Structure 1
Amino acid sequence: MDANTKLVISTFITSFVTFQLLFHFVSSWFSAKVSPGYNSLSYEKKTEWNSRVVSTCHSLVVGFFCLYIVFFDEATRADPLWGDPSLVKVNLAIASAYLISDLLLLILYWKVIGDKFFIIHHCAALYAYHFVMKYGVLAYHGNFRLLAELSSPFVNQRWFFESLKYPKFSKANVINGILMTVVFFIVRIAMIPPYYSYIYSVIGTEAYVRLGFVIQCSWISTCVILDVMNVMWMIKISKGCIKVISLAIQEKARNSLQNGKLD
């Protein structure tokens, strides 16, 4: 077993254990310290809260690692299909450990946080990642797709605000909602046209043919599945954001009118 393989395996094991510890022990202690409202939540809410804390931690670590690789890892950028995946494998080891850890929690606490779409999403992502981990191909693309995780902290923060009963029109809630919509669109939706345009441009090239039929089909099919889900989520998020902004404008206008009458 070479040094890189040992590093990937140790990263995976360490990450899995860390995510489990975060969920079962660290999140409840830390959340109670920073948010007094946590202690008043129901068991179900606390369970999902801890799950989302883990999700946020994972997203921040993996997301910023992705940005570093995109901008500074020349070996991966130089050859998107067959570039040296050493750093990407480490990042995917962290992501894979999170996905398996979260799948375990989804099953154990199915009545509380179970979601069939998350199961589909996690399994599709793991299936795609294993090609990078096992064969060292599509490293750049595996990392590029992980940029989508940068939207998760905003999605989770929206849920935290709702659980703590923050007013929908509070400044923090509205700002987070707008940022969530914008970031989600940038990292999950806006990249769809150029990404598939690139796939189309490499079809038939020698590097693409060398991937083999199974990897070619798996690469495209998993991307399609994930992007269909991203579009569905984007529509839902956009509707919610537009609704909140519209209601906030109406509320502001109503308050202005009332203040005008009082004057």
Structure 2
Amino acid sequence: IKESSKTTVSAGNMDSYSIIGIVFTSFLMFQLLFHVVSPWFSAQVTSGFNKLSTQKKIEWNSRIVSTFHSLLVGFLCLYILFFDEATIADPLWGDPSVVQVNLAIASGYLLSDMFLIILYWKVIGDKFFIIHHSAALYAYYFVLVSGMLAYFGNFRLIAEFSNPFVNQRWFLEVLGYPKSSKANIINGVLMTVVFFIVRIAVIPPFYSHIYAVFGTEAFNRLGFAAQSAWIGCSGVLDVMNVMWMIKISKGCLRVISLIRKEKTNKYHQNGKLD
């Protein structure tokens, strides 16, 4: 039975050349988006883009690429979570081929983003993003190379749905939208809620899944390296997610407090005028 199980996994596993090809193509695609597509697209969408400094344009293009990547792999992630029967039936050793495509795309993006961060370190350099990307790539390695942990590797990509709102907050800020503007308020509330749902609320069910399979024959067959990478990298990412959640919550509360103050001031001003 064990032998047939291993054969099934091997049969469903993508070959290394295909994976490398997807990662490399993804890397080139995101580089093209950063250097060519984003500058052109952004100039068409808003005249404010051309007024930005070179440094701001670099970060703008980086966030456009981040948003595109988040939506692409995020929706693929949802498709896999709901419709990929192989990984749902066997989260540790199910056929990983569809997940490998998604993670290969994500890995290409992470490598592209790390390259841009290093290339433009003075503008967008951030040690936490280097740590985040490195931890994610190390964890994805086991899914891409060995085909194990496909369901859990894909599960982590739910977090990508928070990025478009985080990026939109920055876009509104550099375009000069007041923090009390309707666009900023709506985006801020949505960002806080979505970030909590996809990065914090998923923590208990994720680790409950780990607990459910911990110590089983399928879990032991993973080996210590994969087990430690899976649990250890997840822990690092979740600590960072909690830290970011605290910052975002504080920012959201500041905006709400600012709105209340403005309403109070207007009320007193109108009262004095009356």
TM-score for both structures, normalised by structure 2: 0.92
Give 3-state SS (helix, strand or coil) of 1:36's partner.
coil
Q: 1:174: how far off?
A: 0.5
How far apart, in 2, do the equivalents of 1:142 and 1:35 lie? 37
- 1:212 aligned partner: 223
Q: Flag structure 1 segments of 5+ consecutive residues without an equivalent.
A: none
Q: 1:165: how far off?
A: 1.2
Q: 1:253 pairs with 264, 270, 274, which one?
A: 264
Aligned-pair identity in percent equals 70
- 1:198 aligned partner: 209
Assess if the C-alpha contact under 8 Å between 1:7 and 1:90 holds in 2: no
How far apart, in 1, do the equivalents of 2:85 and 2:272 lie? 64
Q: Flag structure 2 segments of 5+ consecutive residues without an equivalent.
A: 1-10
Give 3-state SS (helix, strand or coil) of 2:48's partner.
helix
Q: 1:94: how far off?
A: 0.5
Q: 1:16: how far off?
A: 1.1
- 1:24 aligned partner: 35
How far apart, in 2, do the equivalents of 1:31 and 1:262 lie? 45
Assess if the C-alpha contact under 8 Å between 1:154 and 1:176 holds in 2: yes
Output one character per residue of 1:38-94: Cα deviation in whole Å (capped at 9) or x when no partner. 111111100000000000000000001101111111111111111111110000011
How far apart, in 2, do the equivalents of 1:33 and 1:192 lie? 40
Q: Which amino acid aligns with 1:130?
A: Y
> Do structure 1's residue 71 and structure 2's residue 91 form an aligned pair?
no
Q: 1:255: how far off?
A: 1.7
Give 3-state SS (helix, strand or coil) of 2:91's partner.
coil
- 2:7 aligned partner: none
How far apart, in 2, do the equivalents of 1:253 and 1:195 lie? 44
- 1:177 aligned partner: 188
TM-score for both structures, normalised by structure 1: 0.96
Q: 1:62 pairs with 73, 90, 115, which one?
A: 73
Q: Which amino acid aligns with 1:215?
A: A
How far apart, in 1, do the equivalents of 2:49 and 2:263 lie? 30
How far apart, in 1, do the equivalents of 2:261 and 2:84 lie? 48
How far apart, in 1, do the equivalents of 2:84 and 2:18 lie? 18
Q: 1:7: how far off?
A: 4.2
- 2:114 aligned partner: 103
Q: 1:127: how far off?
A: 0.2
Give 3-state SS (helix, strand or coil) of 2:244's partner.
helix
Q: 1:4: how far off?
A: 3.6
> How many residues matched?
262
- 1:15 aligned partner: 26
How far apart, in 2, do the equivalents of 1:142 and 1:43 lie? 36
